[in-house]
Structure 1
C-alpha cells in the first residue's frame, strides 16, 4: 500500500508535454499511477468553430496580437529597448474591413455567454490594451491548447480579467503599495547615510520587487497555501527582510557594524550581511491562515540556491501530506518562489538544470513562481545573452512569461496575480520578467558610468519609483503631502531607534526548531558520536527477505532470479552479506524505525553497476514494484528517484530535501565518483560550510564510486583529496565535530553501519562515501549478520591481525588497495612480518583509535617498526596529503622516531593513465613495492 504522502505527491506535469492538445498526466514511476486530468477550460463549441472558420482573417489578426504583442509593449522603464515596428500587429495585413462589424464568438473571450459583434477599431483597442500595454504576455509558445485557452480567457475577458488575491479596497491596496515602496526607499537612504561604505546591494530602481512579492504572498495565502520557500540572490535582500519579513532592524544594524548574527559561544564563522535569512509568518486580512515565508540562506554563487529551494519545497510537502488528513495534493500547501537576476538567469547553467527538474517525477514540487528582477548588469545585454529576453531559457519547459514595467507597481501586482493563478491551476513553473533598473552599479561603491554612460545619464535624471508613485497617488488624492512626509519620517525614526540599540544587542541562535527540536548541536556534550547501530539478526533476516519478495503474478527479469536466490541464501546462512544486501538491510531497518529514505541519481533503482535492484520492473507491463515499500510493518518509505543527467541541480535538490527534517535520509549517488565535479558549487557553498555559516545541519549522504581499475583518467577517482581539503578536521584530534564525514569503507558491514549512523546519531552531518565499484560483488568484502548485530557499529580503523605481533612493517592504507596488499602479503608469506591497517574514516581523522592500535605494535615489537602509507592514487592525490601530518603527530605521541613513509604512484596531472598495459604495470609496482622496502 502507498503512504498518504506517496498517494498524493504526484506531479501534475506530463511526459507527453510536447504533444499538442494532449491532456497532461499525473505520472510518477515509483508509484505506478496514471490518471488523466480533465480540461479546465471548455473547448470550442461547433458554432464557435464555424465562426472561426468564417472569420479566419480576424482569427489570424487576433492570434498575431497574442503572439507578437510583447514585441511592441511598453515594458522598459528606461525606454532603452529597441522596439521594432511589428508588422504582424497591423490589421491592414489581414484584409479586414475597417467599416464592418465582426462576430467575435470563439475568437475573443469577453466573458459573455452570447455572441457579440464588434467593429474592428474596438477589437484592436481591446486587444492592444490587453497585449501591448505595460504587461507583455508570452504564452502562445505553449504546446498545450488548454493553457493557451486558459490565458486568452483570463486576459481578454472583461469579467475575468482581474485576478484576485485580496479583500482590500482599491484605495487601501494603493496605500499598501505606497507604504512598501516608501519603506524600501527610506531604508536604502538610511543605510547609505549611516554606512556609506557598505555593499548592501540595495533596491533603488527595483523597489517594485517588494509589492510584487507582497501580492504573491497575499494571493497564495488566500488560495490556502501555508508555506512559501523563497530563494533569492543578494539584490534587495535587506529590503525584503525588513520591509516584508519583519527581520529585526537591530539585528541587521548589529551585523552591519561588524557584529555577529550568531552567538559567539558557538564559535562559527557566520556569513556576510547580504546573505542573511529568516522565517516568518505574514497575516493578510481576510485570509484564513497566515502564510509562513522561509527565506533560505544562500551563497554568492548566483542561482545555486534554486535547486536547494525546490528540494526543500518537495520535502516539506511530503511531510505535510504524510501528516495531514485533509484532501490535498501536490502544491496545495507549499509553494516555491525563486528570484533571479537577469544576467545570472541567462548565464548560469544551474538554471537550466533546475528548470529541467521542474516537471519530472520525484522532483516536481507543484510549480515554482520565478521573478526575474531585471535590473541590467554592468555588461550590456548585447554581450550578456544571445536571446531576445533573459527569460527565454524558460521556454525550454514551455513556461509562460509575463514581462512587466517596474515603473508601474499596480501593473506589477496584476502580473503577479495572473502568474500565481496559472501556477496554482496548472502546478507548473511561470516566469515574471520584472523590468526595473539599478540606480547604482553592481554595488553602491561601483561606478557604472564607466561602461554604460547613456543608461546612467537617464537614470540619474529621473525620479525614483516610490516618488513617481507618490505623485500619482497625490493626483488621485489617495494620500497627502503631509502623510507622505510623516510616514517617511516615522519610519526613519524607527530605524534610528534600532540603530541606537545595537551596542546592547545579543544575537540568538535560531536553530534546531520545529522538526529539528529532537536534535542537538554537534559540539555539545549531549552529542552521541558513535551510537550502537546494530540490529537484531532475525529482524535483519525479515527485512532482507522482504527486500526481494515479489508477487506471484509479477513478471521478473530472468536474470534477477539469481539475485534473489543469492540474497536469500546469504541471509539464511548468515554469511556472504554483500554490498547491495547490506544497503537493503540498512534501508529496511531504518524504515521500520520510522525513517524515510530517498536515493536519487541516474539509474539508482537498479544501481549503476546493477547491484541494487531496489526497484523492479514487470517485464510485461513495465509496472514498478518497490519490495521494501510493501513491508507492512514499515512506517517509513523508500523513494527511488531516477534523475535526469544533472549533477549540480540534483545534488542541490537532495541537499534542500535534507534541510526539511532529520527523519529523512537523502542520498545522492553519482554514476562515477568524478561526476561530482559538475556539482562542486553545491559541495563548496552548502554541504561543506552551511553548518558553520548558517547553523544548518544536514544528513545528506553522497555516494561517489571510487577506485583505480584501468578505466582511464575519468571514472577512476572521486578526488577524495578535494573533499579532505574542504574539512575543518584539525591536526590534533581535539574535536570530532568536523563539518562533514569522509569515509572509504571496505566491507559491506561498514557501509551498513554508516547508513544507520546517519540517522541514529542525535545530530546530522553530511557524509561523503568513497563508494566501491569492484568490491560490490567481491566475496572478500562481504560481511556476516553477526557484523550487523546489536553491539556492533562502524569502526574507523580496521586492523586485520587478531592481535599485535612482533612485526617489522606496519602498512596503513584506505580503500580497496587493502585487498591487493593482502593478497601480495599472503603470496610472499609475510603475515608475521607485515601488518595491514585500514583507515576507514578519514575525516574526522581517528586519532584515538589509531593511537591505541599503533601503540600496541610499538610495545610488542623488539625494534621500532617501519610505518608506511600505501595508496593507489597519485602522490598529489588521494588521502596522503591529509593523513601525513596527522599520522606523524600520532607517531610522535607514541614516541616513534621516524616519520611515516609514502609508497604509491608519483605525482600526476590525471587520476589514472588511459593505457591499459601501463596501468597494470603501475598497479603491480605499487602493490609489490609496498613489501620491497623501496620508498618514494
Structure 2
C-alpha cells in the first residue's frame, strides 16, 4: 500500500535539522505532479525518528530534574520524570534509531533505543545538566545542545588534572592554616566549595589564551581569601598583617580601612606567552551590590580601549570580560540582581555578556534552600534574560572544568550572559564561629560525614596512576611551609602603595585645605557651544514645541549672553568640557529630555525616531563625546553601574540623575557602601555626580524632598574644625545656573576626584529670576560656596537670614514686595565642605545684626537645619534660630490647602520673627 505525502526538506522540532530523502532510499516513486509515493515502511521509519527526536528534546528540556547535582540533598531524588518515559513517545527499548543529526555525541550511527536512552541519561541526568531549551535563538539552542552533549566524551589531559588537584589541595591547606593560627577568625572559608577552584583556574587560562586582556570580577566572601592568595597571587603576609590589626595602606594616606573579607586584588596572570589581568573589586557586605559596579567598570574599560570605535558609538572592546560570582541565596533574594540582569542588553549599559558563577552552598545565612526561594533553582532568575544555565555537582571537579570551557565558549561566541551553578556546601556554618546544628541538624550530619573534595579527587588521581600518595602529601606540606614563611614575614612586609596609576596618573588625593578653581570659559567658546547645541540636520524633524522653546529661545539668550537658564548653563558646561577633550556620560530615567522636559540634549526625529545629539557634532576633530544613557527604571543597579564607571574613567564627567530626589533611597545600598564611603574605606576616588531634584511645590511626600538631612549625616564634614577639600562627599545646593555651571566644570578641572551631590531644582529650571549671564561664567569666575546680599545697606541690617536653594527666591520676593530694609539674605550654596571662612567674611559686613536665622522649606527634623546649626554655632561662633515647618513624619504634606498654608508660613515667619 502506498500513501501520498509531500516530501520536502523541513524542520523537526527546535533543532532545525534538515532531512533530505533521495528517490531510492525506500523506493520512492516520483510522479509528474512533483509528489512522491512513499511506502508504509518509510512512514513508520519517519514516525519513529520523529518520536525519537521528541524524546531527545525532552531530555534536553527535563533531564536536569533527574540529575544528581546536589552533593548533600535531604530530599528524595527524582528518579521518575514523566516527560522522560519512553512509552510516552510510542517507542520501546527494542527499537533501533538513527542518531545522525539528532544526538551529536553518538557518532551519528544507528543504535538500540535502550543504548540511546542510556547515553541521554549519562549526558543530562548524572552529575551535570543544563537548562537551555528556553533560549529564544534557534541558533543558540542548536549550538548549545551540540556542545553540551560533546562534554560527555571530552577529555582532560593529565597536566590539567594534576593542576586541579594541586589548587584544591592548596586551598584546603590555606583554610586549615588559618583555622590553626586564627581560631577566632571569621574567614568565610572555602571548605566544601573547593570545586570552584577549577572554574577560576580554567577561566583565567582560557581568557589569556583566547585574547581576553582583562577580567573585571565581582567576588563574594565565600572562599575569597583562598582565591586571592592562591590563583591571584595576593601575598599571604599582607593578609596576616591585616589579621594582626595593622593597616593595609601607608601612613601617608587618610583612610579608615575595611574588614579582611572585602580586600581585593589586581594582578597579571601568565600562561606561557599569554597573559590576562584580573581585577577583583572591593565590595561591601551587601555582596550582590558590587555586581552593577563591576559592569560599569567593565564598560568604561571597554570604551577606553577604543578598539571598539567608541567615538562612532559602535562596538565595545571584546578584550574586557565581566565576571560575577554569586552566593545562591543572595542571588535569588537580592533585588539588585534582577535590576542588574535587566541591563545586560540595554543600550549604553551592555558589556557584551557576563559570565556568572554561583557558589551554591544551599544555605542563606542559616536558612535552607527550600525556605529561601519559591523556585526550583536559585538561578531561575537568569531565565528572564534567556541566559543558559549549567548545573554541576561540585564534588566532581572535572565536570566543573568541562562546564567552564562551555561557559567561556558560549560567552565568546554569542556575547551574552551565561550561568554556571556549582552545587556544593559549607563545612562550617555561616562563618567558622557559627554552630549550624542549631537550625540545620540533619543537613550538617550529612556534611560532617563527608570527606573533602580535594582529598577525594587526589585519591582518584592516585588510583589513575597520575599522582602518588607522597606527592599528594607534599603538595599540602609545601604550601603549609610557604604559608609559615609568609607568616614570619608579617612584621617586615610593607602595605601596597595605592598611588594613582594608569588612567589615574597625575591625580592626587584631596588635601585638608580649600582650593579655588578657575572654572570660567571664554565667551567665544560659550557662544560657539550654545549655538551648536541647537543645530541639527536640515532633514531632521524635531518637535514643533522645541523649535520655539528650545531652539529660538536659546539662540536669543546666547546672542545676548543674558537670561541663561538652568538647561542652557548645563549644556554650556557639558559642551565646554567636551571642547576641552573630556567625555560626558549622563544616565537616569529619560535624562535625554530631563524629568521636567528641560534638557533636550538628545533630539528625536518625529517621523523616524532617529536620535541626534547636537553636542556630539561640535567640530570635525572633536575628542570629547557625550553618552546619553536613558536607563531602565532602576535606582540601585544604575547608580552602582555609574559608580563603577567613574572608578575607571576620571576624565569622564559621569552623572546620575534621579527622577525625583528622594528616589535615590532606592539606591541607598550603593550610596552608603560605595559612593559615600568608597574613598575612606578603600582609597578609591570617584568623581560621580548625583543630581537630586528637590523642592516643596505641593507635589506630596514622594516628590518633594531629596532627603538632604540623610545625605548630610553621611558626610565627614567637621563640626569643630574647618573643612578642607578632603571631605568624603561634596553636597551643594546651587541657586543660580552659573553656580551649577561651575560645579559641573569643577568636577573635571581639578586634579582630584570627589563624589558630588547636587540638590537640584525643579521650579527654578524656568524661573526668570533664577538666570545668569555670561559674565558669571567667564575666565576668573568660579563656584562660590556663599552668596551674599547685594541689595541692602550693611549698616541698616539688624537681622541676617541664611537659607539655601529655591527657598531664597521665596524670601527674596517677600523682602522686595514688603520693602524690608533691615534684613540681609545669605545663601549657603555648599554644605559639605562647610564654608566657614566665607561665612565669617560675609557676616563681618553686618556689625549691627543681632539675630541670625536659618530658614528652610523642609520640616524642622529634615533639611539642613541640624547640620548647619552645629557648624554655624561651633565654627562661626554665633547663635542661630530656626524658622520653617514644624517636625513631620512624612517628608511633605499631600493636601494642597495644607501646603499653601505652610508655604505662606515659611515665607513670612523669618521676617516677622523680630517683631514679637
Q: TM-score range by the shorter chain?
A: over 0.9
1:835-846 map, 5 Å: 835-846=824-835
**Structure 1 residue aligned with 2:476, among 488, 509, 532?**
488
- Tell me which of 363, 366, 370 is aligned to 2:352: 366
What CA deviation, in whole Å up to 9, does each residue of 1:618-654 have, x standing for no partner? 1111111111111224311100011111000000000
Determine the C-alpha separation between the residues in 2 that align with 1:935 and 1:141: 75
Q: Counterpart of 1:339 in 2: which secondary structure?
A: strand
* 1:388 maps onto 2:381 in alignment: no
C-alpha contact (below 8 Å) 1:358/1:364 kept by paired residues: yes
The 1:83/1:553 distance shift into structure 2, 3 A limit, reads same
User: How far, CA to CA, are the matches of 2:716 and 2:370 in structure 1?
Assistant: 43
Which residue of structure 2 lines up, in the alignment, with residue 62 of structure 1? 56
Counterparts in 2 of 1:384-423, with a 5 A limit? Answer: 384-423=372-411
Q: Distance in 1 between matches of 2:471 and 2:68?
A: 31
**Deviations 1:675-707, CA, capped at 9 Å, x for gaps:** 001100011000000101000000100001000
Residue 217 of structure 1 is aligned with which of 198, 204, 212? 204
| 2:703 pairs with one of 706, 712, 715 | 715
Partner in structure 1 of residue 604 of structure 2: 617
Is the contact between residue 698 and residue 766 of structure 1 (CA under 8 Å) also seen in structure 2?
A: yes
| Other-structure match for 1:744 | 733
Cα pair distance change 1:518/1:81, threshold 3 Å: farther
CA distance in 2: counterparts of 1:475 and 1:933, whole angstroms: 91
Does residue 627 of structure 2 align to residue 639 of structure 1? yes
Query: Is residue 198–residue 397 contact of structure 2 (8 Å, CA) maintained in 1?
Result: yes
Deviations 1:172-217 (A, max 9, x none): 1011101100110010000000000000000000011122111111
The residue that corresponds to 2:866 in the other structure is 881
| Counterpart in the other structure of 1:680 | 668
CA contact (8 A) 1:580 1:612 kept: yes
Q: C-alpha distance in 1, partners of 2:224/2:247?
A: 18
TM-superposed CA distance for 1:491, in Å, is: 1.0
Tell me the distance in 1 between the aligned counterparts of 2:21 and 2:410: 25
Structure 1 equivalent of residue 17 of structure 2:
44
Question: In structure 2, the residue corresponding to 1:735 is in which secondary structure?
Answer: coil
- Cα contact 2:839–2:876 (8 A) shared by 1: no
Counterpart of 2:4?
none
Q: Contact 1:139–1:401 at 8 Å: present in 2 too?
A: yes
**Cα drift, residue 147 of structure 1:** 1.2
Deviation at residue 43 of structure 1 after TM alignment: 4.8
Corresponding residue to 1:701 among 685, 689, 712: 689
Larger Rg: 2
1:851 equivalent in alignment to 2:851:
no
Look up the match of 1:598. 585
1:261 CA displacement: 0.9
Deviation at 1:53, TM superposition (A): 6.3
In 1, Cα distance between equivalents of 2:865 and 2:594: 30
Alpha-carbon displacement from aligned partner over 1:20-57 (angstroms, at most 9, x marks no partner): xxxxxxxxxxxxxxxxxxxxx99533429998766221
Q: Establish whether residue 147 from structure 1 lines up as the match of residue 144 from structure 2.
A: no
The 8 Å contact of residues 217 and 323 in structure 2, kept in 1 or not, is answered as yes
Cα distance change of structure 1 residues 786 and 139 upon mapping to structure 2, 3 Å threshold:
same
Aligned mates of 1:524, 1:474 — CA distance in 2: 62
Tell me how far 1:325 sits from its aligned partner.
Answer: 11
**458 and 935 in structure 1: CA distance in 2 versus 1, 3 angstrom threshold:** farther
Compute the displacement of 1:881 (Å).
0.5
Q: 1:865 aligns with which of 836, 850, 857?
A: 850
Task: Give the SS at the match of 1:577.
Answer: coil
Structure 1 partner of 2:25: none
1:793-850 superposed Cα distances (whole Å, 9 cap, x missing partner) = 11000012167343011000011000000000011111x3110000001101001111
SS in 2 for 1:47: coil
The CA distance in 2 between the partners of 1:133 and 1:329, in whole Å, is: 40
Partner of 2:419: 431
Contact 2:307 2:316 in 1 (8 A): no
Corresponding residue for 1:818?
808
- What SS does the aligned partner of 1:932 have? helix
Which residue does the alignment assign to 2:100? 105
Distance across 1 between alignment mates of 2:359 and 2:266? 22
Query: In the TM superposition, what is the alpha-carbon distance from 1:454 to its structure 2 partner?
Result: 1.1
For 2:309 and 2:468, locate their aligned partners in 1 and report how far apart those are by CA, in whole Å: 49
| Equivalent-residue separation in structure 2 for 1:523 and 1:477 (angstroms) | 63
CA RMSD, 1 decimal: 2.1
Separation in 2 of the partners of 1:424 and 1:935?
A: 75
- Whether 1:80 aligns to 2:53 is no
Q: CA deviation at 1:289?
A: 3.0
Contact 1:302–1:348 (Cα < 8 Å) also in 2: no
**Structure 1 position 555 matched with structure 2 position 541:** yes
Once the two structures are superposed, the pairs formed by residues 289-688 of structure 1 within 5 Å of their partners are 289-321=274-306, 329-330=315-316, 332-377=318-363, 378-523=366-511, 529-562=515-548, 563-632=550-619, 633-688=621-676
Residue 901 of structure 1 corresponds to which residue in structure 2?
881
Q: 1:666 is paired with a residue of what secondary structure?
A: strand
CA distance in 2, matches of 1:194, 1:922: 64
Report the 3-state secondary structure (helix = DSSP H, G, I; strand = E; otherwise coil) of the residue aligned with 1:768: strand
Give the TM-score normalised by structure 2: 0.93
Q: Distance in 2 between matches of 1:532 and 1:396?
A: 49
Aligned counterparts of 1:472 and 1:221: Cα–Cα separation in 2: 29
Gaps of 5+ in 1: 1-40, 164-168
Aligned residue runs from structure 1 range 913-924, under 5 A: 913-924=893-904
Distance in 1 (alpha carbons) for counterparts of 2:634 and 2:854: 36
* Partner of residue 255, structure 1: 242
Relative distance call for 1:323 and 1:212 in structure 2 (3 A) is closer
Contact 1:227–1:292, Cα closer than 8 Å, also in 2:
yes
| Separation (CA, whole Å) in 2 of partners of 1:889 and 1:110 | 78
Q: Deviations over 1:544-568 (max 9, x none)?
A: 1111101111111111101111111
Corresponding residue of 1:787: 776
**Cα distance change, pair 652–550 in 1 and its aligned pair in 2 (3 A):** same
Deviation at 1:392, TM superposition (A): 0.6
Q: Partners in 1 of 2:133 and 2:407 — Cα distance?
A: 15
Work out the CA distance in 1 between the residues paired with 2:298 and 2:499. 19
Q: Deviations over 1:588-638 (max 9, x none)?
A: 111111111110111011111010111111111111111111122431110
- Cα distance in 1, alignment partners of residues 915 and 583 from structure 2: 48
Equivalent of 1:776, from 758, 765, 768? 765
**Structure 2 partner of 1:767:** 756
How far apart are the structure 2 equivalents of 1:455 and 1:872? 57
2: CA distance, partners of 1:225 / 1:570:
50
The answer on whether the counterparts of 1:331 and 1:367 sit within 8 Å (CA) in structure 2 is no
CA distance in 2, matches of 1:153, 1:774: 60
1:460 is paired with a residue whose SS is helix
Q: 1:310 and 1:161, CA in 2 relative to 1: closer, same or farther beyond 3 A?
A: farther
* Pairwise CA distance, 1:81: 4.4
- CA separation in 2, counterparts of 1:319 and 1:213? 26
Deviation string 1:692-732 (CA, Å, 9 cap, x unpaired) is 10000001000010000000111000001111000000122
Unmatched segments (≥5 aa) in structure 2: 1-13, 23-42
Q: 1:183 aligns with which of 141, 166, 170?
A: 170
Secondary structure of the residue aligned to 2:857 is: strand
Listed one character per residue, the Cα deviations across residues 40-82 of structure 1 (whole Å, up to 9, x for unaligned) are x995334299987662211111111000110111111124343
Q: Does 1:829 align with 2:823?
A: no
Partner of 1:928: 908
CA distance in 2, matches of 1:702, 1:795: 19
Q: CA deviation at 1:157?
A: 4.4
Contact 1:850 1:890 in 2 (8 A): no
1:791-806 to 2 correspondences below 5 Å: 791-801=780-790, 804-806=794-796
Tell whether 2:85 aligns with 1:95. no
Alignment-derived partner of residue 116 in structure 2: 123
- In structure 2, relative to structure 1, the CA distance for the partners of 1:162 and 1:777 (3 Å cut) is farther
Partner of 1:10: none
